[in-house]
Structure 1
Amino acid sequence: MTTAQPSAPFALGVFGAGPGASASSGFPGLVRGDRVLDVSGLGTVNALLSDWDASFDRLAELAVTAPERDWLALADLEVRCPVQPRQILQCGANYRKHVVDIVLAERRADVSTTGHNSDVPEHEARAWAEQMMDERARTGSPYVFSGLPSALTGPHDDIVLPTRGTKHDWELELALVIGRPARHLTREHALEYVAGYTICNDVTTRSLVYRQDLKAIGTDWFAAKNAPTFLPTGPYLVPAAFVPDPAALRITLTHNGVVRQDESVSDLLFDIPSILVYLTSVTELRPGDLVLTGSPAGNGMHWGVFLDEGDVLEGTITGLGTQRNTCVREENQNAKDAP
């Protein structure tokens, strides 16, 4: 399958020899345009990330000096999930417009449920919600939860919609790949600990977000977000050196060809340095860890449209490539895999 190429001089990925290749045959590859160089002689992606400064220099050298005969055609390869993180940390409610839309949607739902008409016009309610978000950004901190590496899947793999739960939804996000051990970072130096950037689609089963038996406890992200294949990632790790201003990137997702998300990373309530400062005040980040920064406005809940059999999601972030996933219901997937 062809993939929109990163605009960077090179990127890093994991590849199979072709469609249907065994899991054991995956290899780390240096991506340059539409060609791939097998760099398994340098170790796994995690091994490269464990000494990222030296690895980056070596990859940059190979991108220029490796003989043309050693490069493979990207079109002949299977593009796989480019990372194998020890831990995945995810930011929620971190795009200003997205959270404002949620507040207004809940207000409309309350009016619809209770039958009480609000005396506050829509534009005043929006202004109030925007002011509330500004105050949160000024005085609050990121909202973070953890995900399971077992939810990861490749940028072109099927998303399997489980029979458990309903209203399966998309959330395209910019993700950071950590390149140094990080604890108690400062804003001034936080970005120095990012090895690169990739794309994640944080698929969520909306009906499982709130537990009916434990309403006072709040959200159940474990159940709602961690089904197998619910975190398509990639296609590549684009080195941070080639992304001078991540806030300038644009996140775009289409659902069956219809644009659903289209927003600048600059709409983040808590920017990337703020996220890293907060995370490392709580825990230590290690090379290879994956940090999701949040999803902008335009998910299925906003549109009243959710994922179903045969739906196609295509997600792009400026300069990072494109992922394309087809949805299949779990019962149909099981029938297809049965002997």
Structure 2
Amino acid sequence: MCIGDRVLPLHALHAQALRCGAQWPEAASVLDLLQHWDRNLAVLRALRETVPARHDAELPMERLRVHPPVDLPRQLLCTGANYRKHVVDLTLDMGVGPEGLEGPALRKWAEDMMDERAAHGEPYAFPKLPSAVTGAFDPIVLPATTQKPDWELELAVIIGRRARNVRREDALHYVAGYAIVNDVSARDLIARTDYKMLGTDWLRSKSPPSFMPFGPVLVPACFVPDPQNLRITLKLNGQTMQDESSADMLFDVARQIEYISAHVELWPGDLIATGSPAGNGMHYNRFLREGDVLDSEIEGLGMQRNVCTRSQATKAS
């Protein structure tokens, strides 16, 4: 449990938590707490009011290696092409559209298409492997398989209750909290060129190790008044590349949960990455390189810092 820059391990609060009606084992993880989130959150909030100004077990966060706040989610779902300006910009950057359209006319066509999709379309979601998850301050390891690794800062939703066929108007009641993720992507590996009818290949383009920095904290939903009004900012080597509001989502958090839960069952601790706003490397034609430093922030959810390194070829034993 984090209180400002102080960190209290769960085991130090275990006995007191049990007296308050908590349901977690002595060696509990955050994933354990999420299995009975409504009750355990109430206990955590009660404990927060009674923890003394100094606690024998507390440590400053700066002295710790910060692991993902849920270590690890069992399921990762990502929503693609979910920010209006991002998709419009990519349409212009790639020149995708009706033949003969360019400049302002192409932009108008793309904007109208996005408005139509928001009004009558559906989210586009796909899985990403949990083995891609890493900590908020860990390195991003760029594999030799890609020449176009790209950043995608995103608002993450952490599920707090089993969810299946959830109605949009009820969806936010299934959210335990919010966090920061960076859905790092190998742009040159998304499309299958050997057999184009296969379409996209999310395994190789999205799931290498370290391709999802997550954290540093899970902020309970009760402390995030409006997930559709959060500023999302990413800097590459100090230069601002993404600076947008979650208000630009085509499909809001509730609609994404409704759509995903209609097709799969969500479990406590599962993570939904809700799409990335405008300003990816694809837009700038500038991709991640060894030595790059990414500083990422979402309003009220903390900050990440990740240094990019190149993977070393593994020698055969």
Output the TM-score relative to the length of structure 2: 0.91
Report the AA paired with residue 3 of structure 2. R
The aligned counterpart of 1:58 is: 43
Distance in 1 separating the partners of 2:62 and 2:203: 36
Distance in 2 separating the partners of 1:195 and 1:91: 18
1:292 is the counterpart of 2:255? no
Secondary structure, in 3 states, of the residue corresponding to 2:39?
Answer: helix
* Pairing partner for 1:78 from 51, 54, 65: 65
1:39 is the counterpart of 2:10? yes
Distance in 1 separating the partners of 2:188 and 2:101: 30
The aligned counterpart of 2:34 is: 49
Is the Cα contact below 8 Å between 2:95 and 2:102 reproduced in 1?
no
Runs of at least 4 residues off by over 6 Å:
none
Report the AA paired with residue 327 of structure 1. C
Distance in 1 separating the partners of 2:65 and 2:261: 35
Secondary structure, in 3 states, of the residue corresponding to 1:251?
Answer: strand
Report the AA paired with residue 89 of structure 1. L
Distance in 1 separating the partners of 2:286 and 2:85: 19
Distance in 2 separating the partners of 1:281 and 1:157: 34
Q: CA deviation at 1:133?
A: 0.5
The aligned counterpart of 1:16 is: none
Q: CA deviation at 1:123?
A: 1.2
Percent identity of the aligned residues? 53
Distance in 2 separating the partners of 1:47 and 1:162: 33
The aligned counterpart of 2:19 is: none
Report the AA paired with residue 39 of structure 2. A
The aligned counterpart of 1:238 is: 219
Cα displacement string for residues 30-66 of structure 1 (whole angstroms, at most 9, x for unaligned residues): 1111111111334211110001111111111221212
Distance in 2 separating the partners of 1:132 and 1:77: 47
Distance in 2 separating the partners of 1:160 and 1:315: 17
Report the AA paired with residue 223 of structure 1. R
The aligned counterpart of 2:296 is: 315
The aligned counterpart of 1:10 is: none
Q: Which moved more, 1:194-203 or 1:56-65?
A: 56-65
* Pairing partner for 2:82 from 88, 94, 118: 94
The aligned counterpart of 1:149 is: 130
Distance in 1 separating the partners of 2:191 and 2:101: 28
Cα displacement string for residues 47-105 of structure 1 (whole angstroms, at most 9, x for unaligned residues): 10001111111111221212322322222222111111111010000000001111111
Distance in 2 separating the partners of 1:262 and 1:293: 16
Q: CA deviation at 1:238?
A: 0.2
Q: CA deviation at 1:121?
A: 4.7
Report the AA paired with residue 203 of structure 1. V
Cα displacement string for residues 93-149 of structure 1 (whole angstroms, at most 9, x for unaligned residues): 0000001111111217x99xxxxxx75451121111100001111111000000100
The aligned counterpart of 1:132 is: 113
Distance in 1 separating the partners of 2:181 and 2:59: 26
Report the AA paired with residue 226 of structure 2. D
Cα displacement string for residues 179-218 of structure 1 (whole angstroms, at most 9, x for unaligned residues): 0011111111100000000110011111111111111221
Distance in 1 separating the partners of 2:66 and 2:93: 38
1:107 is the counterpart of 2:109? no
- Give unmatched runs, 5+ long, in structure 1: 1-29, 112-117
Output the TM-score relative to the length of structure 1: 0.85
Secondary structure, in 3 states, of the residue corresponding to 1:69?
Answer: coil
The 5 A counterparts of 1:194-273 are: 194-273=175-254
1:173 is the counterpart of 2:166? no
Q: CA deviation at 1:265?
A: 0.3
Cα displacement string for residues 284-320 of structure 1 (whole angstroms, at most 9, x for unaligned residues): 1110000010001101010111111110001100000
Report the AA paired with residue 50 of structure 1. Q
- Give unmatched runs, 5+ long, in structure 2: 15-23
Distance in 1 separating the partners of 2:86 and 2:123: 15
Q: Tell me the number of residue pairs that the alignment of Structure 1 and Structure 2 aligns.
A: 298
1:283 is the counterpart of 2:264? yes
CA change 1:280–1:122 in 2 (3 A) is: same
Is the Cα contact below 8 Å between 2:83 and 2:277 reproduced in 1?
yes
